Amino acid sequence: MNSQVDVLAIAAHRDDVEQTCGGTLLHSAAIGLRTAILDLTQGEAGTRGSAAERAEEAEKAAGLLNVGWRQALDLPDGRVENTWENRLKIVRVLRELRPRVVILPYWQARHPDHATASTLGYEACFVAGLAKVETGAPPHRPFKIVYASLYADLRPSFVVDISSYVERRFAALMAYRSQYENQAPGGTLFVPQEEIREKTLALARHYGILGGVRYAEPFVQKEVGLIEDLTLIPVQSI
């Protein structure tokens, strides 16, 4: 069975993808790849906003990111656990969409849901390829898993140039008005609205400088990369 999408981004919460790899999804769509987002929770435990508000905001953000498919599972917000049942929920999506590339959160994170989502997503990708695990759909294992590492204190394996998409990426993030507009709840936890743009562009600019472009998003891969032609390696050394 052919893939229905080329790139699937999996994240714990609605707005995680917008923060970490929204520009990459925009770039992917622009070069003709089919993209999708799977949010694991619905946001019912968040300090700000309700699950219903975040569902509306996620739909608007998906349109801005030009993704063709977006859904949210029903894992408890704040209690994402790596269980067999939860793995199977993701397996069903993987076998339905059959992505070649899966983007996961980096495996070390301040929020436990993010760290768990990384391990849970990886194990689901493995289980999805097991023929004897029956879900009513043929097995499928993604070819590539990469980890969005924007908030990790490490040198990325590679970056993706998002210079042409940084404004639309920011617009997709700000679609979450319930999260990023100034308000009393979470006032000491959230970045003030007037500083969000500066922080967002500063991070993208930092990784852009590393990659020799204006703005970029960073990723980590666990496996060694393979180069066929040394003369075509991008990013100048000196």
Domains located in the chain, CATH noted: 7-232 (3.40.50.10320)
Residues 6+ apart with CB under 8 A from 62: 37, 70
State the pLDDT at residue 177: 87
Helix axis angle, 166-174 to 22-30, nearest 10°: 130
State the pLDDT at residue 181: 72
Please report which helix (H) or strand (E) contains residue 219, including its range. Answer: strand 216-220
State the pLDDT at residue 180: 80
φ, ψ (nearest 5 deg) of residue 60: -65, -45
Structure tokens at 167: 């404004």
15-to-49, 55, 180 alpha-carbon distances in Å: 12, 10, 10
Q: Which residues of the chain have pLDDT under 50?
A: 1
Burial of residue 205, with CB atoms counted within 10 A of its CB: 0-12 exposed, 13-18 middle, 19 or more buried:
middle
State the pLDDT at residue 90: 98
Q: Where are the beta strands (DSSP E) in 6-78?
A: 7-11, 35-41, 69-75
DSSP character for 218?
Answer: E
Q: What is the chain's alpha carbon radius of gyration, rounded to the nearest angstrom? A: 18
State the pLDDT at residue 192: 73
135-to-40, 72, 95, 132 alpha-carbon distances in Å: 19, 19, 9, 9
Q: Where are the beta strands (DSSP E) in 5-141?
A: 7-11, 35-41, 69-75, 101-105
| Closest C-alpha to 202, from 181, 216, 182 | 216
State the pLDDT at residue 140: 97
**What predicted TM-score, i.e. pTM, was given to this entire model?**
0.93
Residue labelled with tokens 């300090």: 47
Pairing of strands 35-41, 69-75: parallel
